[in-house]
Structure 1
Amino acid sequence: MANEKKVLTIKNNILEKCTNSKFAVDIEIPDGVIEIASEAFAGRCASGCASLLSVVVPDSVKAIRHSAFAYC
């Protein structure tokens, strides 16, 4: 994400939330993350973001919880 500060909150290898990415084009989740929490992106990160083209999810992710990408 060029020219923008992106914040991914990751605890115990679980991506809990993403904030401040309203104008993101690409989001890359770091290798080692094993789960994307419920509503991790919804209403915080890419909700209503018209510029988002891709989200790269590494092979390490084994679970994507309910509504993780709601309203994206």
Structure 2
Amino acid sequence: MPVQRNSVKLNQRETQFLQLACSELTYVQIADQMCVSPRTVDGYRESLFDRLQVKSRVGLALWAVRTGVVAL
């Protein structure tokens, strides 16, 4: 089920990536957890950077917390 926050719709895999990106896992470890290649994780990251208008992993985490995708 897609997540919609601030008119940005995230699919299940993007939401999963975002939740994992808010942890202390490396991108390689995230790829392993998601059973995808590191290049696929790079694609999720770059796509979300563009769509959410953030420039870093910290920006992703802040957006996720502010919109309720991730709870502290």
Q: Report if TM-score (shorter chain) is over 0.5.
A: no
* Greater helix fraction, Structure 1 or Structure 2: 2
| TM-score of the pair, normalised by structure 1 | 0.30
* Greater strand fraction, Structure 1 or Structure 2: 1
